[in-house]
Amino acid sequence: MQAQQSLLTSSRWRPWEFILWALAFAMPLLMSKHALIVNEIAIVALFAISLDLVLGYTGIVSLGHAAFFGMGAYTAALFAKHVMPDPLVGLLVATAVATVFGAIGSLTIMRGSDLTRLMVTLGAALILLELANKLDWLTGGADGLQGVVMGPVLGMFAFDLSGRTAAWYSLSIALIFFLLVRRLVHSPFGGTLKAIRDNRLRAMAIGIPVSSRLGVIYTVAAGVAGAAGALLAQTTGFASLDVFEFHRSADVMLMLVIGGTGWLYGGIAGAIVFKLMQDALSAITPQYWTFWIGLFLVVLVLVGRDRLLKPWTWFKRGQS
């Protein structure tokens, strides 16, 4: 009874959450010249949330999460180009394909150590990257899949050059998936995931089906990542080999390092900080912006997120 009450309390919305999402949806109007960056943040935030499901809530480290992101991107682009341009239908198809691929991929994380999982997930992304490169008659190869034209959202809202429609579309989809994922992690199922993360052997001892839980959450995370990839392809009208690149997985991992794991808003906060820093630093030093982001990460890890955000605690006695 106490555990159920705790889940209900943690799942309740706080006032600041309503303000945060209202402000997010107002951004394309308040900062109309920066609507495209709002769209990018919404997409990578959804991608970060998907990785947090397997990393923050179950403790599975993956360096190949871009495989699902890229699968969603190419599926949405191919569907729009060869079947129908409706973005919502394409999004559903891309999410379904990424989910199926995630279900197949989940079989690879059931066994082995963390190092094994790292190599297997990374290898899967690299295999898909090479397949997309070789199947140039289908994917466009190194030139990317071009000529993708999307229809209006709900038949009424056409994508424009300013990026406002794209931003609202991505924010809406990100919010829907956020609500679904939030409900999942604050359910009894989510509680078993945290038990697996904290101590897998103890979770097995008390009767939690660890393997099936890992398979389910990995599959769900793959679907969410596929949806993020589909949003990228739909809002840019382009899909390239870049969506499978290692840096995609590395960047989303860095976002969780910045924002924190095991907390859905950690992925969102990390995406906001990372993309704003990338945009600002690349404008100042186009060749060396990664150096400054790397320096920030080193400071963040050495000092600690809490102490970095609350510098006055540095001077408290008893703290190292």
- 134-190: per-residue pLDDT in tens? 887 787 777 777 777 888 888 777 777 777 888 889 999 999 999 999 988 888 888
Across the chain, mean pLDDT equals 81
Q: Lowest-pLDDT range, 9-13, 68-72, 271-275?
A: 9-13
Q: How confident is the model at residue 317 (pLDDT cuts 50, 70, 90)?
A: very low
239: β partners:
145
Quick one: pLDDT at residue 153?
80
- 178-195: per-residue pLDDT in tens? 999 998 888 888 888 888
- What are φ and ψ of residue 264, in 5° steps? -60, -35
Q: How confident is the model at residue 309 (pLDDT cuts 50, 70, 90)?
A: low
Q: How confident is the model at residue 312 (pLDDT cuts 50, 70, 90)?
A: very low
- 66-109: per-residue pLDDT in tens? 889 989 999 998 888 888 888 899 899 999 999 998 888 888 77
Radius of gyration of the chain (CA): 20
Q: Whole-model pTM? A: 0.87
Question: What CA–CA distances, in Å, run from 243 to 230, 232, 284?
Answer: 10, 9, 25
pLDDT > 90: what percent of the chain? 15
Indicate if the pLDDT at residue 311 is higher than 60: no
CB atoms within 10 A of CB 276: 13
Helix axes 164-185, 210-236, angle to 10 degrees: 170
pLDDT, greater one: 5 or 275: 275
Range 77-98 burial, b when 16+ CB lie within 10 A, else e? bbbbbeeeebbeebbebbbebb
Of 78, 80, 236, the closest CA to residue 159 belongs to 236
Enumerate domains of the chain plus CATH numbers: 2-268 (1.10.3470)
Sign of CA dihedral 251, 134, 144, 146: negative
Indicate if the pLDDT at residue 304 is higher than 60: yes
Quick one: pLDDT at residue 318?
42
Quick one: pLDDT at residue 270?
86
CA distance 246 to 64: 7
Indicate if the pLDDT at residue 296 is higher than 80: no
Mean per-residue pLDDT for 108-117? 70
Quick one: pLDDT at residue 242?
84
- 189-239: per-residue pLDDT in tens? 888 888 888 777 787 888 888 788 888 888 999 999 999 999 998 888 888
Quick one: pLDDT at residue 165?
85
Q: How confident is the model at residue 4 (pLDDT cuts 50, 70, 90)?
A: low
Indicate if the pLDDT at residue 8 is higher than 90: no
Let me know: does 237 contact 73? Beta carbons within 8 Å. no
